[in-house]
Amino acid sequence: MADIRPSGYSKHRKKQTYTRRLGTRATPMQVLMSERIGGMGALIVIIAALPLLLANNYQYDVAITIGINAIVVVGLNLLIGYAGQISLGHAGFFALGAYASAILTARYGLHGALAMPLGALGVGLLAYIIARPILRLSGHYLAMATLGVGVIINIVISREAWLTGGPDGMYVPPLEVWGVELYGGPIWYWIVAAFLVLAVWISLNIIDSPVGRALRGLHGAEVAAEVAGVDTTRYKVMVFVISAVMASVAGSLAAHFSEFVTPEKASFFHSILFVTMVVFGGMASTFGAVVGAAVLTLLPQLLADFASYEHMILGLIMMAVMIFMPRGLVPTLTGLARRRGARR
């Protein structure tokens, strides 16, 4: 799990030397195949069309959970997939966002739309303070340190019952906009969808910018990036904070949507689930993160009929995908499609 392959670097990769010089325009097909336009378009179409297939509240619940997980995973992918740093504690930031919204609205009467950014700000600050010392570490040591962060957050939430309700969790007031309570699947579907599209857009923008190249550069060759003028420490801290803030926002959404929060949200297994979604969908692929979140949220639901075999089948599917698609679902499939297209 902690083994982070350099993204896009694989012995399976076919040698491809194609040139696009300045002045030659991209063909319409290339534009459609590009992540930014083609991918964003596909995502928006799918999100817009999906409600046609959603028949009941349960299905809306699943779709919304996918969206919330996807927001976390898109952020975590910036950290893991692009910058090459691991975190096994991001469920902690997710839970802190959820509890910030819960506590600020339920105990202090703040409006939810204010509690969310305040929570995100607090989590961002905490992530910043934590990041400086622990991002000196790398590999297994960084995994251990971030694991510790998540565990501590989980313990604090469970123990400080006067504030958090302890292991039983606490109730979160519904979000209200202009006197209207936001309640029910259809409304939350669109709220979460909007946040997800925003997260994906921001992620794509970062990656395709000097900041994104610095992040990918320090992943690929840290010393070379440093010598090229990239303050690698600063960029690692920056991406850690960005991913923590995105997790926090997703946590706030989850809190208001389900109107209940429990310390479970900060559990180690929740952190592992997020990391698995990144790797499964495909590291260093923003849409891979969305697909990873979707598949791994949906699969357990689809396998529920197998009762006691559910976890075994889930495990087998995950092993099969990682063995046959070591780069993750989306990079493998797009690579395949591109090679098909090139052959024609």
Partner 1 sequence: MSLLRVENLSIQFGGVQAIQELDFEISEGTIHSIIGPNGAGKTTLFNLITGLYRPSAGAIYLDDAQIAGKRPHDLARMGLSRTFQNLRIMMNMTAIENVMVGRHLHLNRNLLACMLRLPMITRADKAARKRCIELMDLVGLGGAIDADASALPYGALKRLEIARALASEPRLLLLDEPAAGLNARETKEIDDVIATVARAGVTVVLVEHDMKLVMGISDHILVLDHGRKLAEGTPDAVRNNPAVVAAYLGQV
Q: What is the dihedral of CA 48, 49, 53, 57, to 10 degrees?
A: 0
The amino acid that residue 145 corresponds to is A
Check binding of 33 to partner 1 (CB under 8 A): no
232 is an interface residue for partner 1 by CB under 8 A = yes
For residue 294, the minimal CB distance to partner 1 (Å) is: 24
Q: Which stretch binds partner 1 (CB under 8 A): 67-75, 164-172, 230-238, 298-306?
A: 230-238
Least distance (Å) from partner 1 to the CB of residue 238? 7
Q: Does 38 bind partner 1 (CB under 8 A)?
A: no
User: Quick check: 140 binds partner 1 (CB under 8 A)?
Assistant: no
Question: CA separation (Å) from 190 to 44, 46, 59, 62, 99?
Answer: 11, 13, 14, 14, 22
Contact between 304 and partner 1 per CB under 8 A:
no
Q: Which one of residues 74, 116, 214, 273 is an interface residue with partner 1 (CB under 8 A)?
A: 214
Number of other CB atoms surrounding residue 173 within 10 Å: 18
Q: Does 34 bind partner 1 (CB under 8 A)?
A: no
Structure tokens given for 94: 């997710």
191 lies in the binding site for partner 1 (CB under 8 A): no
> Token match 């429990």: residue?
262
Looking from the CA of 319 toward its CB, the CA atoms found within 13 Å total: 6
* 264, 99 contact by CB (below 8 A): no
The CA dihedral of 259, 260, 261, 264, to the nearest 10 degrees, is -130
Question: Does residue 165 come out as left (phi exceeding 0), alpha (psi in the -120 to 50 range) or beta?
Answer: left
Binds partner 1 (CB under 8 A): choice among 238, 261, 273, 291: 238
Pick 16 or 56: Cβ nearer partner 1: 16
For residue 40, the tally of other CB atoms under 10 A from its CB is 17
Nearest approach in angstroms of CB 7 to partner 1 is: 5
Q: State which of residues 187, 202, 317, 322 lies at the interface with partner 1 (CB under 8 A).
A: 202
Determine if 181 is a binding residue for partner 1 (CB under 8 A).
no
67 binds partner 1 per the rule CB under 8 A: no
308 binds partner 1 (CB under 8 A): no
Instruction: Write the interaction track for partner 1 spanning residues 239-278; mark x where CB under 8 A is met and - where it is not.
Output: ----------------------------------------
Q: Which residues contact 307 (CB under 8 A, 6 or more apart)?
A: none
Helix (H) or strand (E) holding 175: strand 175-177
* Rounded distance between C-alpha atoms, residue 45 and residue 38, angstroms: 11
Q: Which parts of 95-124 interact with partner 1 (CB under 8 A)?
A: none
For partner 1, the binding residue among 217, 251, 292, 328 (CB under 8 A) is: 217
Cα 9 → chain centroid? 22
- What tokens does 121 get? 């700000």
Of 123 and 284, CB closest to partner 1: 284
Among 49, 229, 307, 343, binds partner 1 (CB under 8 A): 229
Residue 27 sits in the site that holds partner 1 (CB under 8 A): no
Chain residues that interact with partner 1, rule: CB under 8 A: 6-10, 13, 15-22, 202, 205-206, 208-214, 216-217, 219-221, 223-232, 238, 284
